[in-house]
A and B are shown apart, each in its own frame.
Chain A
Amino acid sequence: MKMGKVTTLLAGLLATLGVATAASSAEITLLNVSYDPTRELYSDYNIAFAKYWQKKSGDRVTVKQSHGGAGKQARAVIDGLEADVVTLALAYDIDAIAEKGLIKPGWQKELPHNSSPYTSTIVFLVRKGNPKQVRNWDDLVKPGVSVITPNPKTSGGARWNYLAAWGFALHQKGGNEAKAREFVTKLFKNVPVLDSGARGSTNTFVQRGLGDVLLAWENEAFLAINELGPDKFEIVTPPESILAEPPVTVIDKVVDKRGTRKVAEEYLKYLYSDEGQKIAARHYYRPINAKIPTKLAKIKKFYTIDKDFGGWRSAQKIHFADGGVFDQIVGAGGRK
């Protein structure tokens, strides 16, 4: 009898609490699971979006961030990290999430420009004065030039580095797959350390003073210069490089479950607005809206993953899978 009363009381209490939370549902949280180099971008963008959204809908939205290596982040989402949106380095990693049924197929067509609201590319960070006179990709394979890049097996950024070098060799006069392979093999002979992630490599280059050139995301190179001293490093933008398109998408299964689809979709769409594009440009991403001014140097020729490598799935399988070209290169490199 007594127990029954207590239970009713508790139930009543819980019900009131439930009502209370339902009434104040204007407090929304989203989780954006992203890769490493977007930390600064999204910490700015989240504030801007919250302002915009409050003005538009009256709801207060807080966007929580999670950053890490792209592959690791995608895996966390697959294994149950409840991300409303993912903003990763490669479509390949988002495809992996889609394969598990968390995202509807054809996600990359949902938003304009392959669902990539900004692009980036790979550039060279060199020591002040560019003592080794590195201007273009072929300077990287010269003897005595030490190149720092993360490991393509564990870092999404490093895969772009690798493919950019491959693309360069492919597009030279008389370039073909065999020549490209030879070129990349030579390049990796000049690599003394393979960190597991992009920021690890930057730290090796900057803090440990190792290497003459750091292959880096364009925005990472600028960030490193701003944070660590413009007097110590400079950026060399090669005349040709690869066009990196980091895509974004909503995780359908999560937003439907949490009832956050509307705000999550708006969150991504706002990236395409003038304000969103300006924030991307401010953080040294290349805005896709040509009207937004950018200080980034022009690149004459861009290689793309779809045209030159047949898409991520094929590039991954040929180059980066176990026993793939990269494994053969470093294994056959006979490094001692």
Chain B
Amino acid sequence: MSSTTENHTARHNGIRTVGEPAIVRWLLTAVAMAFLALFLALPLAAVFSQAFEKGWQTYLAALKEPDTLAAVKLTLLTAAVAVPFNLAFGVVASWAIAKFSFPGKNLLITLIDLPFSVSPVISGLIYVLIFGRQGWLGPWLEAHDLKIIFAVPGIILATVFVTFPFIARELIPLMESQGKDEEEAAIVLGASGLQTFFRVTLPNIRWGIIYGVILCNARAMGEFGAVSVVSGHIRGMTNTVPLQVEILYNEYNYTAAFAVASLLALLALVTLVVKSVAEWNVRRQMKSQERG
């Protein structure tokens, strides 16, 4: 506890007595930037350059197309359902895992990680095997006229699966590194479990949560493979933004395809810039509190 506080103070005051010589810093920065340019910035630039190839008018027209708007709506809906589900899970699971010791913890963490590594192709397929006409629940669903796959619920399920670990994965190490001394002190002083969580733990993991939500959201909106398997590709109904991009591209409508794709890229950039600005504000706040 004390060491982290000192560390924070040291960082916030900008004290750094050791470091690399300027030339090394410069070189490392240059190499890192070159790498990022090659793998991230260039592809990003390519997206925007193709999106605006035919000017603003075409760009806006592409975004206003009804099928595209329907896709945007569906994507927003999917993320709005999937992210809160995984948020609740992430917070609860990280409490159970980080604050307590129990056998099989590694196994549990690994199982939570698993959707990261499951091929999107497979993550779609498993829902087909369960909810499809030939699947476990297929006949029952059909008898009750309920539609899961090739409809919105299936798309949401696949998205929940794919983004499942993001928030938990962000919070578990964070809460583990923070330990449980503060919470234990609160309990000993008579706070209830929920009070402890909301007053002590939550403020500590706030940034982890925001960060996890942003990543989870970005991935939820961008998922292609798994959703493609369960979507059914009905135009204006079960196409999400990434699927719409593929459709447009396959119609040789490259400009529109990249215009719609650029929406997702923009979303990523904007949310992340907002996040770092907010983070910066909070740090400043903390600093002024420390001084005051």
A residues contacting B by CB (< 8 A) are: 31, 36, 39-40, 64-68, 76, 78-82, 100, 197, 199-200, 202-203, 206-207, 223-224, 227-228
Tell whether, in the assembled complex, residue A64 and residue B150 are in contact, meaning their CB atoms are under 8 Å apart.
no
B residues 221-255 near A (Cβ < 8 Å) are 232-237, 247, 249-252, 254
* Alpha-carbon gap, A82 to B150, bound state (A): 8
Contacting residues, chain A, for B149 (C-beta < 8 A): 79-80
Once A36-B250, A224-B252 are accepted as A-B contacts, the answer to whether A80 and B235 lie under 8 Å apart by CB is no
Tell whether, in the assembled complex, residue B150 and residue A199 are in contact, meaning their CB atoms are under 8 Å apart.
no
Once A66-B235, A67-B247, A68-B233 are accepted as A-B contacts, the answer to whether A79 and B252 lie under 8 Å apart by CB is no
Tell whether, in the assembled complex, residue B251 and residue A79 are in contact, meaning their CB atoms are under 8 Å apart.
no
Tell whether, in the assembled complex, residue B150 and residue A80 are in contact, meaning their CB atoms are under 8 Å apart.
yes
* Alpha-carbon gap, A81 to B148, bound state (A): 10
Contacting residues, chain B, for A36 (C-beta < 8 A): 250
Tell whether, in the assembled complex, residue A66 and residue B234 are in contact, meaning their CB atoms are under 8 Å apart.
yes
Contacting residues, chain A, for B237 (C-beta < 8 A): 64
* 21 cross-chain CB contacts under 8 A: A31-B234, A64-B237, A65-B234, A65-B235, A66-B234, A66-B235, A67-B233, A67-B247, A68-B233, A76-B232, A76-B233, A78-B132, A79-B138, A79-B150, A80-B132, A82-B147, A100-B134, A202-B252, A203-B250, A207-B254, A223-B252
Contacting residues, chain B, for A202 (C-beta < 8 A): 252
B residues 62-118 near A (Cβ < 8 Å) are none
* Alpha-carbon gap, A80 to B138, bound state (A): 8
Tell whether, in the assembled complex, residue B249 and residue A79 are in contact, meaning their CB atoms are under 8 Å apart.
no
Partner of A79 from the list B135, B235, B236, B250 (CB cut-off 8 Å) is: B135
* Alpha-carbon gap, A64 to B235, bound state (A): 7
Is B59 close to A, CB under 8 A?
no
Is B158 close to A, CB under 8 A?
no
Contacting residues, chain A, for B132 (C-beta < 8 A): 78-80
Interface of chain B: mostly helix, strand, loop or mixed = loop
Tell whether, in the assembled complex, residue A80 and residue B250 are in contact, meaning their CB atoms are under 8 Å apart.
no
Contacting residues, chain A, for B254 (C-beta < 8 A): 207
Is B12 close to A, CB under 8 A?
no
A-B complex: 8 closest residue pairs judged by Cβ atoms: A79-B132, A80-B133, A199-B250, A81-B150, A227-B252, A66-B233, A81-B232, A66-B234
Minimum C-beta distance from B92 to chain A (A)? 33
Partner of A203 from the list B142, B234, B249 (CB cut-off 8 Å) is: B249
Tell whether, in the assembled complex, residue B250 and residue A78 are in contact, meaning their CB atoms are under 8 Å apart.
no
Is B131 close to A, CB under 8 A?
yes
Minimum C-beta distance from A159 to chain B (A)? 19
- Closest residue of chain B to A79 (Cβ to Cβ) is B132
Since A78-B134, A80-B149, A80-B150 are in contact, a sample of 8 more A-B pairs with Cβ atoms closer than 8 Å, ordered by chain A residue number, is: A36-B250, A78-B132, A79-B133, A80-B133, A80-B147, A82-B150, A203-B249, A203-B250
- Closest residue of chain A to B128 (Cβ to Cβ) is A79
Minimum C-beta distance from A267 to chain B (A)? 16
* Alpha-carbon gap, A98 to B236, bound state (A): 28
Minimum C-beta distance from A207 to chain B (A)? 8
Contacting residues, chain A, for B234 (C-beta < 8 A): 31, 64-66
Contacting residues, chain A, for B150 (C-beta < 8 A): 76, 79-82
- Closest residue of chain B to A227 (Cβ to Cβ) is B252
Once A67-B247, A68-B233 are accepted as A-B contacts, the answer to whether A228 and B128 lie under 8 Å apart by CB is no
Minimum C-beta distance from A40 to chain B (A)? 8
